[in-house]
Amino acid sequence: MHKLKTLVRHGGLAALALFATGAAQAHPGHDTLSLVDGLTHPLAGLDHLLAMVAVGLWSAAALPPGRRLAGPAVFLAMLLVGAALPQFGLVLPGLEAGVAVSVAALGALMIAACSKQTILPTPAGLAVIGLAAVLHGMAHGAELSPGQSFAGYAVGFMAASAVLHGAGLAVGGWLLAGRRWAWRVLAGGVGLSGLLMLAGRL
């Protein structure tokens, strides 16, 4: 419990520090365009859309009611960290394939969270979520157009991601209330989508 709180707190502080750095370097004339691009980017790609919703769904099933925001909090913090890396010239090779793998991994997390036979420790689940977030954030950051404001762009994709996490939490709670068969179908669909994306990117 203490380690979980420490992880979330440190992740949030790191995210705030990076955001403040981006804000200081922002170009005021480009803020509005950057914000709009950031808002639409997580919604434009199926990989990002599925990942954000899957994090909320997993959190609804795997975390106690009072700690369900830990999943989205870790993801958002590490998403911002990942998005900042390309600004320093750091982009992993095979990034798009890695993003696809992360979607498949999040689908597997969802299946594990709803399985009585498979018990995945919460820190391990949050570690998978954090790694997935870095990959998705790096993909977001790599697509920032020259001259755009990183701060405005970051506010946009962070806000859109938070909304998608919230949708996942809400839908997850509804599915778990006697609709576990639908949960398994959805989890399998997320995992399969990730595998199909990976096949198309290799």
> Tens of pLDDT along 29-51?
445 567 777 788 777 788 899 99
pLDDT band with cut points at 50, 70 and 90 for residue 71 = very high
Check residue 70 and give its pLDDT.
Answer: 93
Check residue 15 and give its pLDDT.
Answer: 43
> Tens of pLDDT along 2-23?
444 444 444 444 444 444 344 3
Q: Where are the domains of the chain?
A: 40-86+93-201
Q: What mean pLDDT, rounded, does the chain reach?
A: 80
Check residue 130 and give its pLDDT.
Answer: 96
Q: Is the separation of the CB atoms in 70 and 4 below 8 Å?
A: yes
**pLDDT above 80: residue 153:** yes
User: What average pLDDT does range 158-183 have in this prediction?
Assistant: 85
In the chain, what percentage of residues exceed pLDDT 90? Answer: 40
**pLDDT above 80: residue 78:** yes
**pLDDT above 90: residue 72:** yes
Q: Is the separation of the CB atoms in 108 and 57 below 8 Å?
A: no
- Report the alpha-carbon distance of residue 137 to residue 147 in Å, rounded: 19
Of the candidates 27, 37, 25, the one whose C-alpha atom is nearest the C-alpha of residue 156 is 37
- Report the alpha-carbon distance of residue 54 to residue 72 in Å, rounded: 10
Q: pTM for the whole thing?
A: 0.80
Q: Enumerate residues 6+ apart whose C-beta is below 8 A from 123.
A: 3, 4, 7
The two structure tokens encoding residue 191: 């995992």
> Tens of pLDDT along 100-135?
999 999 999 988 887 655 567 889 999 999 999 999
**pLDDT above 60: residue 24:** no
- Report the alpha-carbon distance of residue 67 to residue 55 in Å, rounded: 13
Check residue 2 and give its pLDDT.
Answer: 46
In the chain, what percentage of residues exceed pLDDT 70? Answer: 81
Check residue 33 and give its pLDDT.
Answer: 65
- Report the alpha-carbon distance of residue 54 to residue 114 in Å, rounded: 13
